[in-house]
Amino acid sequence: MRRSNVERMGFTLVELLVVIAIIGILVALLLPAVQQAREAARATQCRSRLKQIGVALHNYHDSHGQFPPGQIGQVHPRSGNPCFPGSGTANKTAFAPWTVLILPFLDEQARFEKFNYSQRFSLSEADTGSTTNHALWAIPMEKLRCPSVPLSLSKPYSSHYFGVQGGGINTAGNFFCRASNDSLRGFDLNGIMIINGSISLADVQDGASKVFAVGETIYQTWSRTDNKNFGWASSSNLTEEWAFPTNLASTRTSNNALPADGHSNQSRGFGSHHPGGAHFMMGDGSVRFVGDAVDFQTFRKTAIRNDGEPLESL
């Protein structure tokens, strides 16, 4: 019997393993580059959205002669010492935040007109406010979200941009404290976006291009289980003599700083999911990327509109 001389074609097991190993190495080398390219695209979109917020703020200023207040709400004079001003009674007079007030200038006039501005705005999921406003509060607002924030770390109705209330060490008359504990909260009121504010460009004496107006935040970019997640249209939680603002922060903590528990109200601040820093919109509408290693005193002072102190470069 004659044997066939036809040679069998194909890979040996060793050759196949070598090919798989080479493919794995190539994927390992290319994946970081692909991820960096994707993040660069997301960061560009995030910056663009912040720039559009800046345009909206300036169009609001052109229309009203001032920037929008950080939020509208009734705040009564304090008594006693700063962190124990008295028990107070809830007055439920927290109204529209700046994120809602600029809607007409973000091409969102129809959404703006649906809110009831004579009724209270919600603080969180657990605090429903008025039925009308809470229903609108729960509808996502993509123009106030940064695509770099993982979907798993943020409720769909969250905002990733906070107005800048100010910066510095609190002094009497320049902060709100929570009456239920003795912790000073970083809610300075010497910036552009302050509660019940009527700040105009003329009031930004340090120069609009040198003062923060809005910045990215990593505060509450996670999903809580206690139904106290804030939304893009959240307003203050107000009682008789203290205010607990949302959609606002100060530069009291360093850029991208978070407390150990990840969500302390006392330490809310600015930051992002971009490597190395976060974007800030200045008072003139320009956008800057501020690195995590920025000098803290410079970072703090850049949030103050009128301290008259010279600023070093960010």
Q: Mind listing the pLDDT tens digit for each residue in 235-267?
A: 764 333 334 445 666 665 656 544 434 444 444
* Token code pair at residue 179: 């009456």
Domain ranges of the chain: 14-302
What's the distance, CA 74 to chain centroid? 23
- Can you tell me the distance from the alpha carbon of 218 to that of 263, in angstroms, rounded to the nearest whole number? 9
- Can you tell me the distance from the alpha carbon of 173 to that of 187, in angstroms, rounded to the nearest whole number? 11
Q: What is the largest CA-CA distance in the chain?
A: 111
What's the distance, CA 300 to chain centroid? 17
* 208 band by pLDDT with thresholds 50, 70 and 90: very high
What pLDDT is recorded for position 269? 73
| Residues paired with residue 279 on neighbouring β-strands, in sequence order | 289
Task: Judge contact between 146 and 46, C-beta under 8 A.
Answer: yes
Say what the pTM is.
Answer: 0.76
* 181 band by pLDDT with thresholds 50, 70 and 90: very low
Select the more confidently predicted residue: 198 or 220.
198
3-state secondary structure of 17: helix
By CB neighbour count within 10 A (0-12 exposed, 13-18 middle, 19+ buried), where does 177 fall?
buried
